[in-house]
Amino acid sequence: MSEMQINQVLSQMRALAQNSGVGEAVPRGPGTTDFANLLKQSLDHVNQTQQASRALSTAFEMGDPNVSLAEVMVGMQKASVSFEAVNQVRNRLLSAYQEIMKMPV
């Protein structure tokens, strides 16, 4: 993975974190970003999105008049997109790790 691709992945992760409000607890500044904390918060956010989608789906199936089909579908798509984004980040991190492990010491 080239340095340009790594920078693209990092910028995408930062943009996603800013848009979702995930990285707000992480202090800003050079060298102060805790990657493990950011990753855990991202996974927790995806989990919350999936649970909210599941709750909307269950409420709709039970006949709750306050939940529309459109809300259920939007919730399911949000959960799907967030899970796919995390899956893609995992794949990129795994390939970067494998490439680093192949490097001579």
> Residue ranges per domain, the chain?
3-102
- How many CA atoms, within 13 angstroms, populate the side-chain half-sphere of residue 42? 25
Mean pLDDT for the stretch of residues 79-94: 92
C-alpha 7: how far from its chain's center?
A: 17
Of the candidates 84, 42, 92, the one whose C-alpha atom is nearest the C-alpha of residue 34 is: 42
> Helix, strand or coil for residue 104?
coil
Question: For 32-57, how does the pLDDT look when each residue is reduced to its tens digit (9 = 90+)?
Answer: 668 888 888 989 999 999 999 999 99
Question: For 4-21, how does the pLDDT look when each residue is reduced to its tens digit (9 = 90+)?
Answer: 667 777 777 777 777 765
